[in-house]
Structure 1
């Protein structure tokens, strides 16, 4: 446009303007291409008026070329946009289906507890997150796992599959909860050591936080082994307590930082009516427009005590949805268990950790 409005306006720039919508159609959607065509048309009208070129065959030929190229570019851009969207949707459906196979629904009743689970995807393109969870009833009691693999995509899916596979196998024959955790860690280490399974970035920066919980059938306690994961929240008589580990342990992949006494499970009272929430950091790190974190304990305390575990998680989801306005920055996974009343006569009163 600068040339057309300068003394060098005798240089004809029409072909350059005509090509603009076509170039925009390669990288922009239909709206962007249409906007580029509108700009080109506005420039052409301005320069034709400034140079008093109306009535010449060159001007009308230029406008006809702009019209034809613009219509073709918008149509082409729309077709390309629909095809890319269709391909992305297909990839996302396959990814979500694969994740659904790995993350099986949690049964609503497991021995002495009622349970429910919730998994929300952040929907960042077609990426699949690294959240994992499972709840299994065994001869030792109910055992649960929740974890978070750093990163997304195939590396995260592989790590999730390895850890869950090891957990589902070990919980049925390992009485010691620490041994179950060690079994999961060893399985992941063996998989990482296989050449070509994980890319270099995953080997250098990858780690996995894991929390394993055990609810005995005849003892009103919950035992925990925590490897760098956010602590579970215990809802007792309307108040929330976070079950912080006495001796924090590093995540998988940072084993060299484990020092001191042998690792032992930590026990806490878990009496009938109590509810225990296991979750991933996508819940507590969710922010609103003012950059405020989601207050998970307060949200739990605001829910009516008589709601069932699925309804309880549904209301948590609703509060999280309102807080973030459906703009999750990370995937979210939660498991809620409620201790039933079958052994209420043996419930302790203390809320401190059991030695």
Structure 2
């Protein structure tokens, strides 16, 4: 639609500069800024008005029509339509911006209700969380995270629902609701993941629709971690990016021994885990759970964000919240502030009480 005004302007120019100039093109030329006001906003209206003015001057000079009443009436009509179009398009754009700002505020409020910051201290770990929305439109993201202290240890989840909008935030709410309840009652970490998958499967059940097709359209990757009192971390990874363990200045990805499908796609495999995988997690270590928006962030040269190297360059004697803030700044520098996808992170710091950064600052 945006090319229509300029197509009309080009047609008028062709008519006026060829033997077909006997056709009366005044109404066509006047329609150019009017159409631009509807399809292109104030800047497009101004550009269209300037173009039509240039065409009018050019054709009047070429056809030696200066001094005729028709030329002056055409220019007057063009001026009136251009001014009216600019005023109208400016008002429409301002109204749309107010509506978009309101939708953004509602979206942010809804997401903050569902995704609350994790406590700074959870049993044997210090923790911090960060959630960043992609910077375009009023999209509500599908990233999720939570950390809860239970009698089994600290249990954490990070996940990513495919898609955007209300359907994504609804799936986030369903998954987090199931997780927040299951972590306190299920002895086995595998059962916590199973409860989350079952909740999502119930949510996407649509009468008359093929369940498997619906699930393929909106699957959820998830990673659940458990930090008991013992110096280990237990993980169940369902198609999610592996967490990074920062041990003595070196960041290592905790890769699963087998690749499992995302939540909702259990029918694609018969080999679901019976128990979580364990990895050493000793005092002084830091564990980062994150969504793919972090590692898939690109700069203008198409280079991915180097998360392990960035983690290794951050000072060790800071709190998890400060650590995540430095990661945030590095991510924005890499992308020049233009995030293409949402980002969610949880940092868990296995601490020694005598070296607790929160106690040292408190």
TM range (shorter): over 0.9
Deviation sequence 1:171-199 (CA, Å, 0-9, x none): 00111100111111111111112549999
**Does the C-alpha gap of structure 1 residues 197 and 329 become closer, same or farther in structure 2, counting only changes over 3 Å?**
farther
Question: Secondary structure, in 3 states, of the residue corresponding to 2:246?
Answer: strand
**Does the C-alpha gap of structure 1 residues 283 and 198 become closer, same or farther in structure 2, counting only changes over 3 Å?**
farther
CA contact (8 A) 1:233 1:278 kept: yes
The match for 1:94 is 106
Match of 1:280 among 291, 294, 314: 291
The match for 2:165 is 153
Deviation sequence 1:233-276 (CA, Å, 0-9, x none): 00011001110111221111221233347431011111111100
CA contact (8 A) 2:201 2:215 kept: no
Distance in 2 of aligned mates of 1:342 and 1:51: 90
Question: Secondary structure, in 3 states, of the residue corresponding to 2:173?
Answer: helix
Q: How does 1:1-355 map to 2 (within 5 A)?
A: 1-195=13-207, 202-216=214-228, 218-260=229-271, 262-342=273-353
The match for 2:3 is none
Unpaired stretches in structure 1, ≥5 consecutive residues: 345-355
Question: Secondary structure, in 3 states, of the residue corresponding to 1:142?
Answer: strand
Distance in 1 of aligned mates of 2:206 and 2:66: 73
Distance in 2 of aligned mates of 1:258 and 1:170: 24
Whose helix fraction is larger, Structure 1's or Structure 2's?
2
Deviation sequence 1:2-58 (CA, Å, 0-9, x none): 111122322221111011101110011101100000000000000100111111111
The match for 2:9 is none
Deviation sequence 1:267-286 (CA, Å, 0-9, x none): 11111111000000000000
CA contact (8 A) 2:216 2:265 kept: no
- Deviation above 6 Å: which 4+ runs of structure 1? 196-201
CA contact (8 A) 2:65 2:71 kept: yes
- TM-score w.r.t. the length of structure 2 is 0.91
CA contact (8 A) 2:260 2:272 kept: no
- TM-score w.r.t. the length of structure 1 is 0.93
Bigger mean CA deviation after superposition, 7-16 or 287-296: 7-16
